[in-house]
Structure 1
Amino acid sequence: MPDAMTHAFVLLPGAGSDSWYWHRVVPLLRERGHEVVPVDLPYTDPGADQYTYADVVVSAGRDVARPPTLVAQSMSAFTAAIAAERMPVDGLILVAPMIPAPGESPGQWWSAVGQAEAKRAQDVAEGRDPDAPLDPRGLFFHDVPADVVDEAFAHEQPGMSEAAFEPAWRAPRWPDVPVRVIAGRHDRLFPLPLIERLARERLGVEPEVIDSGHLPALARPAELASLLLRE
């Protein structure tokens, strides 16, 4: 049955992904009567940058009947912050996010926040080799059901243009809208202590923790949908 109060959501994929990332969450929101628009961002276009991506989000927002909540996975937290300066929104929900600071670019973020050091510390603490070659299955899909992993690797993913990591976010401060952060307890890319620190320092909020890795929309879609709706 639809919820008594319905909402609109615009869902942004993370780097190197597309709207397919949200395919397990979208029906859970729609069956409750909510408007949902998952977007594809032009990650492969060498002439498109974060401000171009924000234009796509603003355009998608015109397809819903009310100011939407922007739900941004990982790097698209940058895109959502820019879009929220350009359109009316009900709020932002940043999932496993690269939480930006004004004046920072996605390319600068990694070293600015100490991501490599945080990841190495967690790898050592959990018994993984911090110097092992990158294994996307182990890093991103370790808690995703096997059939969904197979589907993900069969699904053609967009390549990433270098422009995706530019430019710096040209803003003096965060937009004056509500912001929530959802962090994965078992995120191997952005360890929970890192996201907790950034949420507190950059947004003044405590993250809500989901029992997943970096891809909760694939690993825990029902739990993520409930968190989006605060059920």
Structure 2
Amino acid sequence: MSTFVLLPGAGSNSWYWQRVVPLLEDRGHDVVAVDLPYADENADQDDYADLVVAGLGDVRRPLVVVGQSMSAFTAVRVAQRCAVDELVLVAPMIPAPGESPAQWWGNVGHEEAQRAEAVADGRDPDAPLDMRELFFHDVPEDLTEEALTQEEIALSDAAFEPSWDAERWPDVPVRVVAGSRDRLFPLPFLTELSRARVGTEPLVVDSGHLVALARPAELAGILLDPAAHPPGSS
């Protein structure tokens, strides 16, 4: 049996994992769904990783760290600080050594890729931000309403700093999960990023950006059966 450490994306919290946690626990695994202090101006990515490691204690092995979106930057830091058996990055901002979350967007050409995908989909690339359209377009309506009525977690500037202090990726197996209908990180964009930065093909789920809310069973299946979904498989 394994321990799964689940890290939420930017501006989110452990609530995000509510549909995945019971699927893992029902199979006898331990699950630690973490709240990261995204709103704290005195806490940055290094502090987030320290918080995660401090909360682990004597966990069962293997230890799998799962990072949603921006928390990929936290996940790689956790793997530097303690023995991690696998990283699973979901709809991730895949970092490069020496890069900060603030630098990532421009470094990877995100704006151009997102705009091109919107045009290809027939959506207005200049439309005002609509959370429902960008993030919740494939999430069940009841969960969407619950999410949008929660207290907003305002991101601090510190959440986007500092640069990842590493010369190379940690020596840990990495799997990348991508949503085929992700409007924030379009599949062609994330596929190329995964190839370039971790040398693997993403596992593709029929989902938007919020995979754990939209397709929890598929995501849990990937986490529970790595032999059926090795790095680079599809």
Q: TM-score range by the shorter chain?
A: over 0.9
Match of 2:151 in 1: 156
Distance, in Å, in 1 between the alignment partners of 2:71 and 2:23 is 22
CA drift of 1:57 comes to 1.4
Alignment of 1:6-45 (within 5 A): 6-45=1-40
- Report the aligned-residue RMSD: 1.0
Q: 1:94 and 2:94 equivalent?
A: no
Distance, in Å, in 2 between the alignment partners of 1:193 and 1:59 is 37
User: Could you tell me whether the CA contact under 8 Å between 1:61 and 1:68 is conserved in 2?
Assistant: no
Match of 2:231 in 1: none
Distance, in Å, in 2 between the alignment partners of 1:40 and 1:65 is 20
Number of corresponding residues: 226
Where does structure 1 differ by over 4 angstroms across 4 or more consecutive aligned residues? none
Match of 1:185 in 2: 180
Distance, in Å, in 2 between the alignment partners of 1:107 and 1:187 is 21
Query: Sequence identity of aligned pairs in percent?
Result: 66
Structure 1 spans left out of the alignment, 5+ residues: 1-5
User: Could you tell me whether the CA contact under 8 Å between 1:11 and 1:38 is conserved in 2?
Assistant: yes
If the length of structure 2 is used for normalisation, what is the TM-score?
0.94
The one of 189, 197, 203 equivalent to 2:198 is: 203
Alignment of 1:43-192 (within 5 A): 43-62=38-57, 64-192=59-187
User: Could you tell me whether the CA contact under 8 Å between 1:29 and 1:225 is conserved in 2?
Assistant: yes
User: Could you tell me whether the CA contact under 8 Å between 1:18 and 1:157 is conserved in 2?
Assistant: no
Structure 2 spans left out of the alignment, 5+ residues: 229-234
Distance, in Å, in 1 between the alignment partners of 2:191 and 2:152 is 29
User: Could you tell me whether the CA contact under 8 Å between 1:58 and 1:86 is conserved in 2?
Assistant: yes
Please give the per-residue CA displacement for 1:46-74, whole angstroms capped at 9, x wherever unaligned: 00000000011112322522241000000
CA drift of 1:210 comes to 0.5
User: Could you tell me whether the CA contact under 8 Å between 2:2 and 2:60 is conserved in 1?
Assistant: no
Distance, in Å, in 2 between the alignment partners of 1:68 and 1:19 is 18
If the length of structure 1 is used for normalisation, what is the TM-score?
0.96
Distance, in Å, in 2 between the alignment partners of 1:195 and 1:57 is 26
CA drift of 1:185 comes to 0.4
Distance, in Å, in 1 between the alignment partners of 2:57 and 2:88 is 19
CA drift of 1:7 comes to 1.2
